[in-house]
Each structure stands twice: as C-alpha cells, then as structure tokens.
Amino acid sequence: MAQNEDNLLKKIAGHAKEYGFIFPSSEIYDGLNAAYDYGQNGVELKNNIKQYWWKAMVQMNENIVGLDSSIFMHPTTWKASGHVDAFNDPMIDNKDSKKRYRADVLIEDYLDKVEAKINKEVTKAEKRFGDAFDKAEFLKTNPNVLRNQSKIDSINERMGKGFENGDLEDIKALIEELEIACPVSGTKNWTDVRQFNLMFSTEMGSVAEDSNKIYLRPETAQGIFVNFLNVQKTGRMKIPFGIAQIGKAFRNEIIARQFIFRMREFEQMEMQFFVKPGEEMQWYENWKAKRIAWHNALGLGEKNYRFHDHVNLAHYANAAADIQFNFPMGFKELEGIHSRTDFDLKAHEEHSGKKLQFFDTVENKSYVPYVVEASIGLDRMFLAIMSSAFTEEILEDGSERTVLKIPAALAPYQVAVLPLLKKEESGLPAKAREILAELKIDFNCQYDEKDAIGKRYRRQDAIGTPYCVTVDHQTLEDNTVTIRDRDDLSQIRVSIDEVKGKLKETTSMESLLRKL
Ligand code: GAP
C-alpha cells in the first residue's frame, strides 16, 4: 500500500475512533488483533446499512424471505459444504521479513500493476487523439496493450490451473518467475506455498472429545442451505425464490489487517437465490445488475465500483465475480456474486440422507435447485461508505473542517436540533426541545446546546449529520428555524411546520429505494 493510501486509512480509523464509530476491541487490554467494536455512531450507521439491504433484498421482493439461523451448526454441515477439506488459503512466507501472504493475492497485485500499465497507455492515447479516440480499436491494436494483455491472460490461466490442480509448487514457481518481492523486506526469498484452514473450532459440552468439536460458521450461507426445505415448505415458495440473512461469520484469517476490511469476526449480508437448473447464468447476470444498481443508488460514485471475474473459483462455484470498491488501499472486493450450482444442496442431501428438492408442478418432476448467491460484507460496506464520505475541506473563510458526507438516509443522525443559546431564560432550549420531540418520531435526532454554534456545526459535520436545525430569537417571534446543509453549508429559513417534509425529501430510506 502506498504511503498516502496507508495514511488515509489511518486517518479514517483515527476519525472513526475519535467520533464514536469504531473502537479497537477490548482496548483497555491493548486491543485484540483484527477485532473491532462499533460505537454509538457506528452502530447507527451499521443498522441503517442493514436496513437498506434488508428492505431492497427481502421486503421489496415478493419471492425473497428472511432467515436468522444459529452460528453453531451440526459439524457435518462443514464436512458437506467442503469447508473442512477445502476452505484453505494458499499462504507463502517471506523468509526475511517473516511476513505471510496469500499467494493468489501476491499474483493478483502483480496483475493489477500490469493492468495499470494498460490504463496508463489508454489515458495517454485519449489525451493525444481527443474526440477521435476509439478505445475499443486501441485496445485491439496497440502493441504495448496487446503484449501486457497477453501477459495477464497467460498468468491468469497458469494461476487458475495451478489452484485447480492443487499444484502449489507451480504457484511458487510462478511467483519466483514473476520476480515478485516481499513489500516489506523487498527480497524474493520465499517458502513453499502451503494451505491453511480458516475455520475456528471450539468444543460443545464439557468433554473435550473430537466428536464434540464444532465450528464457528465461516459464512452464513450454510444456515440458509440447511433450512432450504423448511422455508420452501412453510412459506409455500416457488422456484425461483430467495432466502436472505444478515449475521456474524468467523474466519481465522492469516493476515487480518487494513482496519475493518479483513477481520476474524465480521458480519455478512447474504442472499441465496434458488433457480431451475440451466437458468443459473441468466439469474447470475440479473443479480450482478441488481446488486450494482443497489450500490450506485447510494451515490458514492459509479467510477468507484468495478466487476472483477474470478479465475481461481471457490470449490462450489461455476461462475463468480466480485464487485470491487475503490477503498483507500485501491480496488478490493466488497461483494461476491457466485453461481454455486447445486453443490451445497446436493452435498447436504448426501451427508444428511434427506431429500432437498423442489417439486416442479409444471414439469411434474423434482430437482435439486441451482443457487445464485449475492454476499456482501457489512463491515466492508461500512468502510466503503466511511472512506468515500471522509472529506477534509478548507472553507471560504480559510478555516478547515472534517466532514463525513455519508448518504443522508444512512447517516447515524439525520438532524441535529440546536438552540442558539443555552440559557433557559432565553426560551430557546425549551422551544428547541419542543421541535425535537416532534422530529424524533420520524428521524434519529441529536440535541446539542453546548459551545458556540460554529463548534456545534463542526461536531455534526464530523459524524455526518446532513442537517442542523437552529432555533434562534426569530423562532420565538415567527415560528421559523434555519436548516443548515452539511455538504454545501447553505442555510434556509423555513417555518417549523415545513421542517419535517423538507428533511424527509432527502433523508428517508424511501429516497434511496425509489432509485432501484
Ligand atoms: N457465502 C459466500 C462467501 O462467504 P466470500 O467471498 O468468502 O463468499 C463474502 O465472502 C463477503 O464477505 C466478501 O465479499 C467480503 O465483503 C466479506 N468478507 C469475507 N471475509 C471477510 C473478512 N475476513 N472480514 C470482513 N469481511 C469479509
């Protein structure tokens, strides 16, 4: 990670701590690596992200229902799902720095650099040719682009084959041939590539025998698969239909770093969509389109997202793509869309001896449905929002402010009510509380009367409150207040009766959902 990107992530982490969004876990004991606690403002933002997802995925789709399954599951679940045998990361250590890396990530970082060369070439040509520039033609004909593209393709192919065949020696050979150096020591002194299982295990009951060993779920999806028939039958669901859930997942990540990007305990929002075999590719494309629309509606900037097709497919998938986001450390996976075939349901049929099939009354036959999954990390979504919202500005009067330009509907508080004066005798606090009592029915509100008004505005900017309603002497005379806009700093004077309607226009979840 480049120095300034590293700094930006540190700044965001520092801001998140200072303003009650995210604290290191058990900080009084110096924290626990890769575990974080969401503070009073963080939990509000997190809940709003969940609500936006739940509303869009469950409540606005008549053929998708919710679920909240337990974290502990029968241990055979993980044997069937392949996680006991195949949920491994290929790791490689640098002997000099003693740092451990995921082998595929090292190669993918290398590929990103080659791709950056292509993009540079395109930008240069765009400048040179102006309006006459034909990008598609340029990509097909420019010798430098073609050379780099063919390099990318051949590395991808070799890496894909290496992982598919479990040929870790060739993966190491590839890292050596590409002369990939450790970002810390700068040397190419690598160990062999080895597989590490990522599941946490614990004992259930009091006797520490092997049969009592259970796992903390590494994905919420399996809770959905084992309940497929329960939900289908009791909900009288017809294919195609989906089951969605939000919940904790645990992975003993070898390298957990980059703040809340990669944690050992995190939260997923997952939806499994059950379809007729043979129709999975069209649903896969459909869900890719729907999910990117969900992201774009937030207004974090369409250029900050891109799709990345997987080469190294997970053990259950026949097609997979990530939605990557432009985090402070570059484009990284935010969400995965996977076509999981009938792998999971079939495996659970085999291991449980129970039929997990759907009877299709039109075709008059039963089949094991195929599954298309949309799986997003809630914490990563949180980081995407925080990092695009974090803005340091110099204002017209030369003063500086740090503002979180969080999408208004997701902000921890939609509005702060501020009496200009704190003194009870001024009549302003009482009036402000009267307004607050009315607004808090519809919005999450803050009330603040301490310090000068400018300082209070800055505090609200720092936690991303889109509007401040200020109560002043004129309010007592004509029942009007000012509404201050967080982003453009404009202030308008409106009658108290109009405040609710004005705020609702831009801060309600409805304003987001209507864009979908
Ligand atoms: N059920 C499919 C599944 O779990 P995944 O790509 O391994 O697929 C889905 O994970 C999403 O969960 C990722 O796109 C990412 O947003 C999030 N995620 C995965 N590992 C994570 C970690 N260690 N910390 C935070 N989020 C993580």
At 13-63, the pLDDT tens digits run 999 999 999 999 999 998 888 899 999 999 999 999 999 999 999 999 999
Tell which residue, 304, 303, 300, has the closest CA to residue 325: 304
How far is ligand 1, taken at its centre, from the CA of residue 287, in Å? 17
Please give the CATH number for the structural domain made up of 43-87+198-387: 3.30.930.10
Question: Does residue 224's CB lie within 6 angstroms of at least one atom of ligand 1?
Answer: no
Q: What pLDDT, on a 0 to 100 scale, did the predictor assign at position 209?
A: 54
- Ligand 1 center from residue 269 Cα (angstroms): 9
If one residue of 104, 196, 266 were mutated to test the ligand 1 pocket, choosing by the most ligand atoms within 8 A of its CB, it would be 266
Q: How far is the CA of 110 from the centre of ligand 1 (A)?
A: 22
Cβ–ligand 1 contact at 334 (below 6 Å): yes
Degrees, nearest 5: CA angle 321-47-298: 50
The response to whether residue 89 sits with its C-beta less than 6 Å from ligand 1 reads: no
Instruction: Work out the pLDDT band at 495, boundaries 50, 70, 90.
Output: very high
Q: What is the mean pLDDT of residues 449-457?
A: 96
Question: CA nearest 444: which of 421, 463, 470?
Answer: 463
Which of 264, 268, 378, when mutated, tests ligand 1's pocket best, judged by the most ligand atoms within 8 Å of its CB? Answer: 268
Contact 262, 234 (CB under 8 A): no
Say how far apart CA 191 and CA 424 lie, in whole Å.
71
Q: Report d(CA 50, CA 381) in Å as an integer.
A: 10
pLDDT tens-place string over residues 337-377: 999 999 999 999 999 999 999 999 989 999 999 999 999 99
* Strand pairing class (370-377; 22-24): unpaired
Average pLDDT score, the chain: 94
C-beta of 251 in contact with ligand 1 (< 6 A): yes
Going by the DSSP 8-state scheme, the letter that residue 55 receives in this structure is I
Q: How far is the CA of 70 from the centre of ligand 1 (A)?
A: 18
The three-point CA angle 349-354-358 to 5° equals 80
Q: With a cut of 80, say whether residue 1 has pLDDT above it.
A: no
What residues have CB less than 8 Å from 303, skipping those under 6 apart?
Answer: 326
Spans of all domains in the chain: 43-87+198-387, 93-194, 399-513
Q: Are strands 370-377 and 36-38 parallel, antiparallel or unpaired?
A: unpaired
Give the per-residue pLDDT at 6.
67
Q: Are 488 and 506 in contact (CB under 8 A)?
A: no
Instruction: With CA atoms as reference, report the closest residue to 422 among 459, 460, 448.
Output: 448
Q: Is 379 near ligand 1, meaning CB less than 6 Å away?
A: yes
Residue 204 has pLDDT above 90, yes or no: no
User: Would you list the DSSP string of 87-114?
Assistant: -EEEEEEBTTT--EEEHHHHHHHHHHHH
What CATH fold (topology level) applies to the domain 399-513?
Rossmann fold (3.40.50)
Q: Is 376 in the pocket of ligand 1 (CB under 6 A)?
A: yes
